[in-house]
Structure 1
Amino acid sequence: MGVDEMCNFYMMFYRDANVPDPFPYGAYCPHNENPRVVAAEYPVEGTTLLPSHPEWEHVAHQATNPFGVIEKVALKKLGEHKFGQISSIAFDSTGNLAIFHRGTKVWNQYTFDYNNQLTDKSPVSEPAIIIAKENGDNLEFVEAIGNDLFYMPHGIFIDEDNYYYTTDVGTHQVIKWKYSNGQLAAALTLGERFVPGSDSQHFCKPAGVAVSKKDGSVFVADGYCNNRILHFSKSGKLIAEFGHASTAAGREVSRLSLGAFQLPHDISLDEENERIYVADRENARVQIFDFDHKPVSEIRNGQFFGNVYSVHYCPAHGLFFIPGLATDEVKEINVFVVPPGSKTFQYAFRPKSTEFSRPHIVRAKGNSIYVGEIDDSGGVLWKFDYLQDPSMKDHSLMSDGTESDEESAMSSTMSKASTTQGTMVVTMIVIMAFAMGIMYFMRRHRVAINSRTPTTLLDRAVSWRAAL
């Protein structure tokens, strides 16, 4: 090495992603004021070769097997049906995918007037809901429903009984539909048709909807005008309203207040942990509420995303959320993932074939992840698969979140082995107890004999002579 060349020393370390970054602006040591001390105390491990570890090398060789989130397909149509702007996605009770799109309708600057009224009050003539089922890496068309029912589709949810819930920003309504024989019939209607409002009987461009599995209650993100969340009973009675608009002054402070919204755009429930996740779109964060409607925390990082359009909780893999637009500061659009038990995102992914254009919705079930886009030229439906690291097979899940047959068989075998082992232990304990009982009896019997009979040859001889 020449005298003018630089020798850099790099250190890699890991930290808990849930704690603050100890070096938010990077870390480096620009000067070495004590070279002799550094040279003397430099760890010898840094200048010697590591010993060979065949077992570790075997694991390392598994890196050639793909794992992580893998792009599978990007679709612009299913069957003969070309996608319009894909506003939402849901899974029905059989695991099929429902794609909610706008057909030939496009939401642009001319769609609404200054009073939030639709300028074109004709419905979407095409089937607005396309049903598909998974077929390997691809999707297979099942049927198309919902002609002439929707005006500007936005959110969709399907409950355990296969009722469809939709939000329509055009009519300012949330409707529960009964699905039967390819037809949708309104079972419950919230809001007044084409009448925007901010009281408990009206919405103004309602965006997202989610339904509780426990009690059938309905959560609505009434976002575009009202900046609030409404919680209704299964029968449509208002239970609670929470959230309020964030002020311009509030958005300028370094930390936004919790509970303040600037367009709550999507909503998802984690009922096991009693958490409500809201995509606070223009505040560029996910807000987290408990089931008492109290704000708990947020997920926000302007370094990686400048808005949040959609959020979805998946029990198998945690929380997914996605921005809808790139910004001057953040050019790339990624899906971010908060694993179960974590407080912030720990990894992200995006397509490799091309970049996201206008993602609007993200939904996940089991090991399948879907993203729907709303590009003006037509919608795009992305499918990604979560592939597990082969070295982590002991944690493998099937697409429905249950254990694989192999894992189930292993668990059964282990259970049987455990039962057999337990039986053997009990048997040995009984035998040992019986043996100890016999030993105790013999010892008592010997003591009794010894108390009557001399125990040594000399004693017995003396005793014999005395007897003579």
Structure 2
Amino acid sequence: MNVKQPYVIAAIAISIVVIVVIIFTSSRKEVSKEEVGAVVADDRPDVPKAVKDWPHEDLKLGQISGVSVNSAFQPVIFHRADRVFDQYTFNATSHFQHIDKGPITEATVLTLDPHTGKVLGRWGDNIFYMPHGLTIDRHENLWITDVAMHQGFKFKPGELEPTLVFGKKFQPGSDVNRLCMPTSFAIASTGEIFLADGYCNSRVLKYNALGKLLKVIPSKDEFLSLQIPHGITLIEPLDRVCIADRENMRVVCPRAGLYSLHGTKDPPLTIQEPDMGKVYDVSSKGTLIYAVNGPTSSLIPIEGLTIDPQTEKIIDRWSPPEGFGLPHAIAVCPNGSSLYVAEIHPNRIWKFELVAPK
């Protein structure tokens, strides 16, 4: 064998590599500043933009405590008609003080046209005493909380009698069978049920699809304290249940434990900033959270918040041109094209289109 042969082969190989690199480099397209900007913009979240003059007419509503969106992309709202939640509603032991007035005689659940805001359907008369939360799952079941009754309900589509009832009517309590002013539901694609309970107990209860209690959040050995979990949403890709921890002025996201118990001991993701204010409700789109705060301090604006729970940061703040009064609930449309914010003062519903950032 010629001793020079390996060197010749190596030289040829190096030459081939150099030629390939030159060809690849010369064929690459130079990326413009505009394209770089487009890439950055694509990574930014959609921005809520208020839809002007929506709804088209005055719906003459009471305090709108809950909002959700069905599979037809129609907003469904839960309002209190002539009832008002104030300092006289409950006594020191959390018992409702106006049972003698009976249930609200007006329809409390209204389905609206997403384009005009016109009322398409209504029900819920002579059932509820003090509406609070409303969630619609992927099967069109309605999950409703009534703080006066200290109960949560599951209603199948078109039915007026609940198929699941949580808590005991007008009986506040902190054991596993009783609730105390529950606020909100979140329903997983696995069928598991999360119920925020609520004003008195400051806990989240996790049930299976049949209503059997699986877990109390926080557990006794968990380093987590809630103070009025006022709203709740699930981010299933992250296996997190995210809670509007109102009086702690934060959003906290412990593990949901939907698919396995692995990681359930991980610390919760916590979003808390000095000017965040009291967070009243949360809704999710993908792995992001859209939230609304409420009156906290004259130094803290009432506004919507876009939150990245993975970085534990607020990444955008938004509000309608007129500003918010007292937002109470928020819901993102299932197709991610819009969101709705319900207020209890003034009593109105806002529609926001979710648009790409400029």
- TM-score (ref. length: structure 1): 0.62
Aligned equivalent of 1:373: 343
Is 1:185–2:161 an aligned residue pair? yes
Aligned-partner SS, 1:345: strand
Change (3 A) 1:120 1:274: same
Aligned equivalent of 2:242: 277
Instruction: Determine if contact 1:191/1:203 at 8 Å carries over to the other structure.
Output: yes
CA displacement at 1:132 relative to structure 2: 1.3
Aligned equivalent of 1:237: 212
- Give the superposed CA RMSD: 2.7
Is 1:112–2:90 an aligned residue pair? yes
Distance (whole Å) between structure 2 residues aligned to residue 305 and residue 339 of structure 1: 14
Question: For each residue in 1:370-429, what CA deviation from the matched residue of structure 2 results, as whole angstroms up to 9, or x when unmatched?
Answer: 111111xx5111111122247xxxxxxxxxxxxxxxxxxxxxxxxxxxxxxxxxxxxxxx
Aligned equivalent of 2:72: 94
Change (3 A) 1:69 1:164: closer
Instruction: Determine if contact 1:357/1:373 at 8 Å carries over to the other structure.
Output: yes
Change (3 A) 1:134 1:259: same
CA displacement at 1:341 relative to structure 2: 5.2
Query: Which residue identity does 1:335 align to in structure 2?
Result: G
Aligned equivalent of 1:322: 292
Aligned equivalent of 1:289: 254
CA displacement at 1:56 relative to structure 2: 5.2
Task: Decide which structure has greater helix share.
Answer: 1
Change (3 A) 1:70 1:362: same
Instruction: Determine if contact 1:228/1:244 at 8 Å carries over to the other structure.
Output: no
Instruction: Determine if contact 1:179/1:185 at 8 Å carries over to the other structure.
Output: no
1:349 corresponds to which of 287, 310, 318: 318
Aligned equivalent of 1:24: none
Aligned equivalent of 1:312: 283
Instruction: Determine if contact 2:307/2:316 at 8 Å carries over to the other structure.
Output: yes
Query: Which residue identity does 2:284 align to in structure 1?
Result: Y
Instruction: Determine if contact 2:281/2:291 at 8 Å carries over to the other structure.
Output: yes
Aligned equivalent of 2:111: 131
Aligned equivalent of 1:394: none
Instruction: Determine if contact 1:227/1:244 at 8 Å carries over to the other structure.
Output: no
Instruction: Determine if contact 2:288/2:309 at 8 Å carries over to the other structure.
Output: yes
CA displacement at 1:283 relative to structure 2: 0.4
Distance (whole Å) between structure 2 residues aligned to residue 57 and residue 114 of structure 1: 61
Instruction: Determine if contact 1:321/1:362 at 8 Å carries over to the other structure.
Output: yes
1:298 corresponds to which of 265, 270, 275: 270
Aligned-partner SS, 1:282: helix
Change (3 A) 1:59 1:261: closer
Change (3 A) 1:74 1:379: farther
Q: Percent identity at matched positions?
A: 31
Query: Which residue identity does 1:290 align to in structure 2?
Result: R
CA displacement at 1:291 relative to structure 2: 2.1
Question: For each residue in 1:416-459, what CA deviation from the matched residue of structure 2 results, as whole angstroms up to 9, or x when unmatched?
Answer: xxxxxxxxxxxxxxxxxxxxxxxxxxxxxxxxxxxxxxxxxxxx
CA displacement at 1:59 relative to structure 2: 10
Aligned equivalent of 1:248: none
Query: Which residue identity does 2:212 align to in structure 1?
Result: K
Structure showing greater radius of gyration is 1
CA displacement at 1:218 relative to structure 2: 1.0
Query: Which residue identity does 2:138 align to in structure 1?
Result: E
Instruction: Determine if contact 2:277/2:294 at 8 Å carries over to the other structure.
Output: no
Instruction: Determine if contact 2:328/2:341 at 8 Å carries over to the other structure.
Output: yes
CA displacement at 1:158 relative to structure 2: 1.2
Distance (whole Å) between structure 2 residues aligned to residue 153 and residue 275 of structure 1: 27
Is 1:195–2:171 an aligned residue pair? yes
Aligned-partner SS, 2:320: coil
CA displacement at 1:272 relative to structure 2: 1.8
Instruction: Determine if contact 1:78/1:141 at 8 Å carries over to the other structure.
Output: no
Aligned equivalent of 1:334: 303
Question: For each residue in 1:194-230, what CA deviation from the matched residue of structure 2 results, as whole angstroms up to 9, or x when unmatched?
Answer: 100000000000011111112x121111021111111
CA displacement at 1:74 relative to structure 2: 6.0
Instruction: Determine if contact 1:173/1:189 at 8 Å carries over to the other structure.
Output: yes
CA displacement at 1:287 relative to structure 2: 0.6
Correspondence list, 1:34-113, <5 A: 68-73=47-52, 81-113=59-91
Instruction: Determine if contact 2:269/2:309 at 8 Å carries over to the other structure.
Output: no
Change (3 A) 1:258 1:363: farther
5+ residue gaps, structure 1:
1-54, 246-256, 391-468
CA displacement at 1:184 relative to structure 2: 2.1
Distance (whole Å) between structure 1 residues aligned to residue 151 and residue 74 of structure 2: 25
Change (3 A) 1:231 1:379: same
Greater RCO (Cα-Cα under 8 Å, separation 6 or more): 2
Query: Which residue identity does 2:74 align to in structure 1?
Result: N
Change (3 A) 1:388 1:87: same
Aligned-partner SS, 1:109: coil
Instruction: Determine if contact 1:368/1:385 at 8 Å carries over to the other structure.
Output: yes
Instruction: Determine if contact 1:228/1:243 at 8 Å carries over to the other structure.
Output: yes
Aligned equivalent of 1:263: 228
- TM-score (ref. length: structure 2): 0.80
Change (3 A) 1:113 1:346: same
Instruction: Determine if contact 1:244/1:260 at 8 Å carries over to the other structure.
Output: no
Question: For each residue in 1:21-64, what CA deviation from the matched residue of structure 2 results, as whole angstroms up to 9, or x when unmatched?
Answer: xxxxxxxxxxxxxxxxxxxxxxxxxxxxxxxxxx758999xx9x
Aligned-partner SS, 1:385: strand
Change (3 A) 1:230 1:310: same
Question: For each residue in 1:339-389, what CA deviation from the matched residue of structure 2 results, as whole angstroms up to 9, or x when unmatched?
Answer: 48543111110111x1211111111121212111111xx511111112224
CA displacement at 1:88 relative to structure 2: 1.0
Query: Which residue identity does 2:174 align to in structure 1?
Result: S
Distance (whole Å) between structure 1 residues aligned to residue 125 and residue 59 of structure 2: 12
